[in-house]
Structure 1
Amino acid sequence: MNKPLPTMQQAAQEAEFQLCAAKDVLEWQHALIKAIHLDHLHGDGEGIGTLFEVAKYFSDTGFGGVYSAIDEFRELGESAPQNAQLENVARESGGDQ
């Protein structure tokens, strides 16, 4: 990772943003499913092709930021000091006394 690690606050803000974005996409997909169902029941399926295109667009583009954020959080977690490392640093600096 070439960029500096985000602070915990920055990581939490990014996580919140990505979760809200994912929630929005899921709500839009739910609305599309309902519209497809209603079109099937009351419109003889005339609009289903167009509704499927919108659903495909959401599927293709909706979660790109979520996937990249997951990768970023994984890198952050792998690079963060573990409990044993923190204990060693405290002992070496005399923080245990």
Structure 2
Amino acid sequence: MDKFLKNAYIYVLAYILVINAYAFFIMGIDKWKSARKKWRVPEKSIFITAIIGGALGIYSGMRLFHHKTLHNKFKYGIPAIVILNIVAFAYVIYRII
């Protein structure tokens, strides 16, 4: 059972890393496309990515790329989802350990 729990811990950490890297990437892509008046990433997709664990990547992308920082639903919504993600991941990791 210990090997299973160790692997589960690694999988959870890998998921956190991958989903946040993806979230950061889509914020960069959306900013790039915005500047060129091209097709954009739908806000719904950004929020879904944040809810499934990528909120920190979205928030980091917002700050680094200065993208969507003036929209209230992003300005207040994404930090709230970051907190929910932290609580959820802490709970999952606590249950594994």
TM-score (ref. length: structure 2): 0.53
- RMSD over aligned CA atoms reads 2.5
Q: Deviations over 1:17-72 (max 9, x none)?
A: 1011111101211111111111221017x625x1x221210111237773442230
Percent of paired sites with the same residue: 5
Supply the distance in 2 between the matched residues of 1:33 and 1:66 (Cα, whole angstroms): 22
1:72 aligned partner = 95
Supply the distance in 1 between the matched residues of 2:52 and 2:3 (Cα, whole angstroms): 27
Contact kept in structure 2, 1:22 and 1:62, CA below 8 Å: yes
**Which segment is superposed worse, 64-73 or 18-27?**
64-73
More helix by proportion, 1 or 2?
2
Any stretches of 5+ residues in structure 2 without a counterpart?
55-84
Contact kept in structure 1, 2:23 and 2:46, CA below 8 Å: yes
1:23 aligned partner = 17
TM-score (ref. length: structure 1): 0.53
Please say which structure displays the higher CA radius of gyration. Answer: 1
Asked whether 1:53 is paired with 2:44, we answer yes
